[in-house]
Structure 1
Amino acid sequence: MNDSLHKDFSVYQLALGVESPSQAFALNPATLLSLVRATIDLLIEGQINATIWFKLPPGKIWYAELIRYQSSVKTANSIYDCQIREKKTASEDEIDLTSSSSLFCRSINLSAIPNSHISCEYFIIVISQNFASLIAAYQPTKRDTSNIISHANTTKSQPLSTIVSVDTQVIQKVLDGLKQEILSEAETIPHTDFVVPSVLEPTLVSKLLAKQIQRQDEINRQIRTERIAKLKEKNQTLHKKERLKDEYLSNVCQELRTPLTQIKTALSLLNSPNIKPNQRQRYLQMLNNQCDRQSILITSLLDLVELEHTLENTTLELVKLADIVPGVVSTYQPVAQEKGIMLAYTVPTDLPSVWCVSGGLKQIVIHLLNNSINFTNNGGQVWVKARVQGEYVQLEVRDTGVGIAESEIPKIFDCFYRVRSGVSDEINGAGLGLTIVQRLLWNCGGSISVKSKVDEGSVFTVQLLPENSKMMISGKLNI
């Protein structure tokens, strides 16, 4: 068609332009697809030989309906794919639209001026000897010279202004407009493929309406099922959180009660008139130890609560292990020397920076080092090593301590869990250190693993994402 004479062609506007236009209403793409399926269902059930003109959203799910019709109705039929394409050669008149499927049809080129309506429209027109139907959908968009609506936006969730009609006057006007649009190609198309029957079979129209309702019911049932499933999943999550919260509170109460019970016992014994000086001293030490334990527990609990509240909104930062490990090790050297423990570290200065929660790397090293020193007897050894291992930077804390029984290893990251090791009662931690380490690592894409044997020691291995990790985008996990 001569571009100088070309007008803004629109199937949707032609359908609205008749004297008694069909009512337009907003549909989502899923409902539009159900209407197309209902029409195909009718054609297949009645084995109706029809001419189909269509311009559908991209994607196999739409073309699958036409393939279904073509493979089910054995009689000859004409199918025209009205797409906006570049000029084509004669050999391209018939193409396989889906590559892997068997849909063959005539490709009809629609010329489109910039920002044209047809660029934003989809339609399917069906005509046969005693039946005709039209579905036309238009995606409203802001019309500017620099932005034409994309297929991706049209086919997702934006509402489509839709017309569904079996009015022969409406359908014939649309076909006449389409014939004028493709005037240069119309001469090679049978005249009957542009002609709507004067009278439609009422039974077929009724069946179409019934199938449309049936298909919509299926969508509604699917939506209800999905909503119910989501609600069940949400309820299960809430119940799980409530259960975990109850267990957590129960553990907190138990942990707080234990030192209080011992404090009360020591106080009652101190009131005895027959108490000896050495016994008094032992009970006073017991009071002091349990007060320290209570203080450690409360501080650790507050740290964990604060961590849980802030982790989601905390940004990740790049940190060098060589800037953190030496300082923490030097802090623990006096403690290690007092116990006769050899404490050393090997952290190459050229290791790449790693991603971690802001301030979190220091906490991780402190908790792991404190844990190893506490559970290593006098004369033992503790090493801190770091190296590149595959796609990660690996931090290893190894000790020759009392070790962990194989049955206890899965539990050591649980809140308040303390290994029953036979080490002296001076170890009165809250049992939250490893829990905090694990939480910190979860939020920066890291991980921690443990290898241990009783009386041989333990190895805690932390894996951290390096600066150039493909899993990171601007300091955020790409998961």
Structure 2
Amino acid sequence: MTLTPTSDESLYELALEADPTLPILQVSPVTLKAAFSGLIELLIDRELPAVVWAKLPRGAIWQAELERYSALEGIPRAIYVFKNHREESADESSLVSRTLVDTTTTAEPEARAVEQSKATPPAWLEILLAPESHLRREYFLLVWTAHFRGCILAHRPRSAQLAKAAENNVVESLAGLTDVSLAGAAIDDGQERRQHLLILSSFDGSLVERLLSGLTQVLMTSATLPNTAAPTDAIGDETRPRLALPDVVAHWNQLTRTMPTSATDPAVWGQLLMKQIQRQEEMLQRNAIYRRQAELVEILQLQKEELLNALRSKADFINTVGQELRTPLTTIKTALSLLNSPSLKPPQRQRYLDLIAKECDRQSSLITSLLDLVQLDQAVSPTALETIRMSDIVPGVVSTYQPLAEEKGVKLSHKVPEDLPEIACMGNWLKQIVINLLHNGIKFTPTGGQVWVRAKQQGSYVNLEVRDTGVGMAPGELPKIFDRFYRIRQASLDDASGAGLGLTIVQQLLLHCGGSISVKSRPGEGSTFTVLLPIRAQAPTSS
């Protein structure tokens, strides 16, 4: 049976009316749980007889300490647990085994008086609040012992705006605490589980008495007792009489009168303080573990993304390699089929043979470049760099390209001083760097153009510059020229025979020896590639 509610009071507001100076804290459910647990564990550790009034969030974890206290043997106690009305259906099966009473306020006074002597509430009694009760958004723990009387009240603001308005009276919670979810520690509506709570606490006996008066008003106007009978194994073969709400109030008033509060033992407050310090330390340690786990998850997530990107890059690379290998083969196959034509004239035959030779060279260049790249990508262990002089390698490479430049009508010159400092690089790497840069310079420079190779010291590096007066590149192409298989758009069909890997290999070789490469170019004016190689004395000994 549910009584028709008339009016009840918010214990939180009642406490503030009684003492406006009470400090208010804005805390997470984790901190509220620690505060409740600390006070109940004080009762358990000191085995204090007490009367407890509690309204806790749903979930077994919130009632764990209270159930431990209830299970103590030989300790006089009474525990009144208030619940929101909708919690009854979820917890109905547990109420049957724990609540030994039903409710009625319409019974005749005389009939109730006859049963009054037998209608004694059990040590644990659960009371249902009306759906519209002011206590629906509140949680509380009131404790009455012979040593102290205390309370912890928590209020759940209805909206973020109200919570913000309340912050004027809120003391900031301790730094470093995070709103960590507790398994099973749900707080009513799922939408509000992450919401912070406003709490206050007091050990003023007169304030606790006033709160109990307010709680009595709630009980008499907007609360009910579950309609359940006592289990036979709890009271034998007799049927236990049902309780009315006035019986409950009379019973707890009787208990509080027989338990007057004496002077507080300082040891009680010392132990309560130590409990709170212990809880705080546990939360800090738990938060530290959670932070480390979050950092580890973030690192693993980054590693996962890197691996996925690497796999995608490898897949794209293999797809591009397949296309690059297919193109020359298609051209060669077409040219071979045309060579079988009986009406083919000698000049046409020679043109097809030249095309086949050119595509074979392109295929060979592509395969060689791919092998170089694979070798560089698989270089896991650091390679010991050599100490070399640029003047011992660069002039020799330039001289080998002189005939090719003269055949195309391109002037090729170099200036590499012999007194340049030694550099840290592998000799064959430097040779391959110069070859690729010279090959591109000559290939994209028209007849009558020039290609220069110059070297000089620049701080702790040796600067190697390869400049040409070729076709140049548009500004939009410069960021792409070191990508694999990229070819500049200004190149003619005859110049497109390269694999598109030369500059990629140059960049990778320089990265392995601590160097770098940059480029400046303008369409129709040529390009300048600048290579910086570290001087040996200030260079790393490995890649």
TM-score calculated relative to the size of structure 1: 0.55
Query: Aligned with 1:417: secondary structure?
Result: coil
Aligned: 1:379 with 2:379: no
Residue 421 of structure 1 deviates from its aligned partner by 2.2
| Among 334, 343, 357, the residue aligned to 1:274 | 343
Instruction: Give deviations 1:198-233, integer Å, cap 9, x for gaps.
Output: 998321232222122111110111011001100110
Query: RMSD between aligned alpha carbons?
Result: 2.5
Aligned: 1:460 with 2:533: no
Where does residue 85 of structure 1 map in the other structure? none
Aligned: 1:448 with 2:517: yes
Instruction: Give deviations 1:403-461, integer Å, cap 9, x for gaps.
Output: 11222111111111111224451551111111011011112221111111122111101
Aligned: 1:392 with 2:450: no
Residue 277 of structure 1 deviates from its aligned partner by 2.8
CA distance 1:463–1:309, shift in 2 (3 Å):
same
Query: Aligned with 2:335: secondary structure?
Result: helix
Where does residue 368 of structure 1 map in the other structure? 437
Instruction: Give deviations 1:73-103, integer Å, cap 9, x for gaps.
Output: xxxxxxxxxxxxxxxxxxxxxxxxxxxxxxx
Instruction: Give deviations 1:148-188, integer Å, cap 9, x for gaps.
Output: xxxxxxxxxxxxxxxxxxxxxxxxxxxxxxxxxxxxxxxxx
Residue 379 of structure 1 deviates from its aligned partner by 2.1
Where does residue 176 of structure 1 map in the other structure? none
Aligned residue identity for 1:219: A
Where does residue 315 of structure 2 map in the other structure? 246
Residue 281 of structure 1 deviates from its aligned partner by 2.2
In the alignment, is the contact (CA less than 8 A) between 2:393 and 2:427 conserved in 1? no
Q: Aligned partners of 1:371, 1:264: CA distance in 2, in Å?
A: 28
Q: Aligned partners of 1:378, 1:202: CA distance in 2, in Å?
A: 95
Aligned: 1:331 with 2:424: no
Q: Aligned partners of 2:427, 2:282: CA distance in 1, in Å?
A: 56
Q: Aligned partners of 2:360, 2:542: CA distance in 1, in Å?
A: 41
Aligned: 1:255 with 2:321: no
Q: Aligned partners of 1:226, 1:265: CA distance in 2, in Å?
A: 58
TM-score calculated relative to the size of structure 2: 0.49
Residue 391 of structure 1 deviates from its aligned partner by 3.3
Which protein has greater RCO, CA pairs closer than 8 Å, 6+ apart? Answer: 2
Where does residue 99 of structure 1 map in the other structure? none
In the alignment, is the contact (CA less than 8 A) between 1:314 and 1:358 conserved in 2? no
Aligned residue identity for 2:385: L
Q: Aligned partners of 2:423, 2:509: CA distance in 1, in Å?
A: 13
Where does residue 304 of structure 1 map in the other structure? 373
Query: Aligned with 1:226: secondary structure?
Result: helix
Residue 344 of structure 1 deviates from its aligned partner by 1.0
Q: Aligned partners of 1:219, 1:357: CA distance in 2, in Å?
A: 48
Q: Aligned partners of 1:379, 1:306: CA distance in 2, in Å?
A: 38
| Among 296, 305, 316, the residue aligned to 1:227 | 296
Q: Aligned partners of 1:347, 1:430: CA distance in 2, in Å?
A: 29
Residue 312 of structure 1 deviates from its aligned partner by 4.6
Aligned: 1:210 with 2:292: no
Query: Aligned with 1:395: secondary structure?
Result: strand
In the alignment, is the contact (CA less than 8 A) between 1:314 and 1:357 conserved in 2? no
| Among 363, 383, 390, the residue aligned to 1:314 | 383
Residue 402 of structure 1 deviates from its aligned partner by 1.5
Where does residue 290 of structure 1 map in the other structure? 359
Where does residue 305 of structure 2 map in the other structure? 236
Query: Aligned with 1:310: secondary structure?
Result: coil
CA distance 1:448–1:381, shift in 2 (3 Å):
same
In the alignment, is the contact (CA less than 8 A) between 2:472 and 2:521 conserved in 1? yes
Query: Aligned with 1:378: secondary structure?
Result: coil
In the alignment, is the contact (CA less than 8 A) between 1:357 and 1:440 conserved in 2? no
Aligned residue identity for 2:394: V
CA distance 1:311–1:370, shift in 2 (3 Å):
farther
Q: Aligned partners of 1:286, 1:260: CA distance in 2, in Å?
A: 11
Radius of gyration: which is bigger?
2
Query: Aligned with 1:201: secondary structure?
Result: helix
In the alignment, is the contact (CA less than 8 A) between 1:399 and 1:457 conserved in 2? yes
In the alignment, is the contact (CA less than 8 A) between 1:357 and 1:443 conserved in 2? no
In the alignment, is the contact (CA less than 8 A) between 2:383 and 2:542 conserved in 1? no
Residue 325 of structure 1 deviates from its aligned partner by 0.7
Where does residue 497 of structure 2 map in the other structure? 428
Q: Aligned partners of 1:422, 1:245: CA distance in 2, in Å?
A: 27
Q: Aligned partners of 1:322, 1:286: CA distance in 2, in Å?
A: 38
Instruction: Give deviations 1:50-70, integer Å, cap 9, x for gaps.
Output: xxxxxxxxxxxxxxxxxxxxx
In the alignment, is the contact (CA less than 8 A) between 1:351 and 1:387 conserved in 2? yes
Where does residue 64 of structure 1 map in the other structure? none
Identical residues among aligned pairs (%): 54
Aligned: 1:414 with 2:483: yes
Instruction: Give deviations 1:132-155, integer Å, cap 9, x for gaps.
Output: xxxxxxxxxxxxxxxxxxxxxxxx
Residue 476 of structure 1 deviates from its aligned partner by 4.0
Aligned ranges for residues 21-36 of structure 1 at < 5 Å?
A: none
Where does residue 227 of structure 2 map in the other structure? none
Q: Aligned partners of 2:341, 2:332: CA distance in 1, in Å?
A: 15
Residue 310 of structure 1 deviates from its aligned partner by 2.3
Aligned ranges for residues 120-131 of structure 1 at < 5 Å?
A: none
In the alignment, is the contact (CA less than 8 A) between 2:391 and 2:417 conserved in 1? yes
Query: Aligned with 2:290: secondary structure?
Result: helix
Residue 387 of structure 1 deviates from its aligned partner by 0.7
Aligned residue identity for 1:387: K
Identify unmatched segments of 5+ residues in structure 1: 1-40, 43-196
Instruction: Give deviations 1:252-294, integer Å, cap 9, x for gaps.
Output: 0110111111112212222334333322222222222112211
Residue 327 of structure 1 deviates from its aligned partner by 0.8
Residue 319 of structure 1 deviates from its aligned partner by 1.5
Q: Aligned partners of 2:489, 2:529: CA distance in 1, in Å?
A: 18
Query: Aligned with 2:313: secondary structure?
Result: helix
In the alignment, is the contact (CA less than 8 A) between 2:487 and 2:496 conserved in 1? no
Query: Aligned with 2:400: secondary structure?
Result: helix
Where does residue 107 of structure 2 map in the other structure? none
CA distance 1:214–1:424, shift in 2 (3 Å):
closer
Identify unmatched segments of 5+ residues in structure 2: 1-33, 36-265
Query: Aligned with 2:299: secondary structure?
Result: helix
Aligned residue identity for 2:464: L
Q: Aligned partners of 2:410, 2:380: CA distance in 1, in Å?
A: 35
